[in-house]
Amino acid sequence: MSDSSHSSKNSFFGRFAEQITKYSGSTAVFVGAVALVLLWAMVGPIFHYSETWQLVINTSTTIITFLMVFLIQRAQNKDSLVLHLKLNELIAATKGASNRLINAQDFSEEEIRLIHQFYCLLADKAKADNDLGETHSIEEAEDNHHEKLAAHRE
């Protein structure tokens, strides 16, 4: 399979999945789903609330839920990636921003906790400042952290 045919299949599936995701989140689909459940409930007495009658709704909702989980996850993954790209662009374009936060989504939990501690230090510095326009960097927080560690060791 050539790359061009592979990418055209991906783009077809991508477009298809995106359209289904948008459509399934519409008011019309919700109203239709409610109508189907009400219709199912109304025909219950006709089928004497049989096991088959119950199986129809159980099977239908299970299959729809199973498929929708993957579509929702796909949409969420795409949205998350786009958000990360936009944030990376802002970080890269902002003078004084710490470029080490680009692709922070790939950091380990330990690295994320460490950076969170640094931002807690920044928040503490901001609280201590009376000037709301004063800015601090992660590097300043890191220096303060090292100073605190050195002071504790003395």
Task: Give the per-residue pLDDT at 113.
Answer: 92
Write phi, then psi, for 2 (nearest 5 degrees): -80, 160
Domain limits, the chain? 1-96, 107-154
Reported as a single tens digit per residue, the pLDDT across 87-100 is 888 888 888 777 88
Shortest CA distance to 105 belongs to which of 121, 123, 122, 82?
82
DSSP class per residue in the chain: --HHHHHHHHHHHHHHHHHHHHHHTSHHHHHHHHHHHHHHHHTTTTTTT-HHHHHHHHHHHHHHHHHHHHHHHHHHHHHHHHHHHHHHHHHHHSTT--GGGTTGGGS-HHHHHHHHHHHHHHHHHHHH-S-TT----HHHHHHHHHHHHHHHH-
Unique residue bearing structure tokens 């359209």: 19
Task: Give the per-residue pLDDT at 123.
Answer: 80
pTM of the predicted structure, to 2 decimals: 0.60
Q: How far apart are CA 25 and CA 28, in angstroms?
A: 9
Reported as a single tens digit per residue, the pLDDT across 11-65 is 888 888 889 999 999 999 999 999 999 999 999 999 999 999 999 999 999 999 9
CA distances from 136 to 15, 81, 86, 103, 114 (A): 43, 28, 22, 21, 17
